[in-house]
Amino acid sequence: MPNSGTEQTARRDAIRELLAMDAVETQQDLVRQLSARGLTATQSSVSRDLKDLGVIKTGSGYELPDSSRDGDQEVASVANLIRGRKAAGANLLVVKTAIGAAQRVALAFDRSGWPEIVGNIGGDDTVFVATTSIGGQKRLTSRIDRAVAR
């Protein structure tokens, strides 16, 4: 049975609070800590929450993304290198860049912390960006357009 919006919000607030205190090694650790707080949590609900919150997995566990980092600013910093973009199926976006700039643009996407991005590969003048879904692809396209327009 899906969680109510109120339960989900409370759980995500608690996840932010727990991760702000220290990295958590596993999703199961988070489930235990949330349950100890009286919140309903399963591994799958925590996994979805982590993804939606943009939480990153590091060598020491799950951590909140750097809140001082603005994904739009990261991509805006390389906007002059982006020449165009085009969907290639439901989960792939092809971003054309200036010659030799794809690695810098790919790194900006990595640093953006945008949850729609599963991963990317930068070549010489092309970046292939894998997205979570067709909806994620559309949100990513809007984000890129907004960052480039800055």
- Same-domain check for residues 47 and 80: no
- Same-domain check for residues 52 and 79: no
Tokens of 122: 């930068």
Over the Cα atoms of the chain, what is R_g? Answer: 17
Q: Over 80: is that where the pLDDT of 3 sits?
A: no
Q: For 56-125, give the secondary structure using H, E and C.
A: EEECCEEECCCCCCCHHHHHHCCHHHEEEEEECCCCEEEEEECCCCHHHHHHHHHHHCCCCEEEEEECCC
| Contact in structure between 105 and 122 (CB atoms under 8 Å) | yes
- CA 29-35-41 angle, 5° bins: 80
Total residues found in the chain within this entry: 150
- Same-domain check for residues 57 and 76: no
**133 DSSP 8-state letter:** S
- Same-domain check for residues 76 and 135: yes
CATH, residue 111: 3.30.1360.40
Residue 11: φ, ψ to 5°: -65, -45
- Same-domain check for residues 96 and 121: yes
> Could you tell me the pTM of the whole model?
0.56
Place 66 in a pLDDT band, splitting at 50, 70 and 90: low
- Same-domain check for residues 95 and 51: no
How many structural domains comprise the chain?
A: 2
Q: What is the pLDDT of residue 1?
A: 43
Give pLDDT tens digits for 74-92: 888 899 999 999 999 999 9
- Same-domain check for residues 105 and 39: no
- Same-domain check for residues 82 and 46: no
CB contact burial 6-21 (16+ within 10 A = b; e otherwise): eebebbbebbeebbee
- Same-domain check for residues 78 and 112: yes
Domain that residue 121 falls in: 71-149
- Same-domain check for residues 46 and 97: no
Give pLDDT tens digits for 95-149: 999 999 999 999 899 888 888 999 999 999 999 999 999 988 998 998 898 888 8
CATH, residue 45: 1.10.10.10
